[in-house]
Amino acid sequence: MAEMAITKKRPKNLDLPTIRLPLPGILSIIHRISGAVIFLLLPFLLWLLQGSLASAETFAVVKGVVGHPLAKLVLLGLIWLYMHHFCAGIRYLMLDLHKGIDLESARLSSKVVFAVSIALTLIIGAKVLW
Ligand code: HEM
């Protein structure tokens, strides 16, 4: 039996750019990337928070940095990464509870995660950054 498994020719495709990921796959990769990016940037975000709270002078410096249009764009991207990680995380917790695990529901919940995370990003960005 074990020999059969070894000799059996299985289809394989190692040409990664030709693999078309379905939406839940794209969501999964962004969830992983967002978790790593947020984790790596935590010291910087905490430094910004500390600067904004330490004194009026450091608050002015942080305000100046965060007020730059490029910084706002970066922060908007970060807000989206966090919102995506948060919404996708809730989806994964639901999947862990075996809720929505059939293909159709999994595809629908991926679309909901993208729609909700983008909507939340725009709302929070408008409130906090502009
Ligand atoms: C500072 C905030 C956070 C950081 C730095 C962070 C970071 C991470 C990282 C690095 C992973 C591993 C990703 C992977 O390798 O696949 C992960 C997974 C996960 N995160 Fe977060 N996370 C944060 C907040 C949250 C929040 C608020 C939620 C709530 C919804 C959440 C839910 C999850 C879940 C459910 C997983 C496991 C997903 C799976 O089963 O593959 N995370 N997180």
pLDDT in tens, 34-58: 999 999 999 999 999 999 999 999 9
Atom of ligand 1 nearest to the CA of 39: 5
The whole-number mean pLDDT for each consecutive block of 10 residues of the chain, a chain of 130 residues, reads 67 84 96 98 95 97 94 97 98 98 97 98 95
Nearest to 121, CA basis, from 93, 96, 94, 86 = 86
pTM as predicted: 0.87
pLDDT score of 3: 57
Q: How far is the CA of 78 from the centre of ligand 1 (A)?
A: 15
In the chain, the largest separation of any two C-alpha atoms, in whole Å, equals 74
Q: Is 85 in the pocket of ligand 1 (CB under 6 A)?
A: yes
Q: Is 32 in the pocket of ligand 1 (CB under 6 A)?
A: yes
Domain residue ranges of the chain, discontinuous segments joined by +: 24-128
pLDDT score of 89: 98
Q: What is the DSSP letter of 100?
A: S
Tell me if 87 sits within 8 A of 5, measured CB to CB. no
Q: Tell which CATH classification among 3.10.50.40, 1.10.510.10, 1.20.1300.10, 1.20.1070.10 matches the domain 24-128.
A: 1.20.1300.10
Q: Is 86 in the pocket of ligand 1 (CB under 6 A)?
A: yes
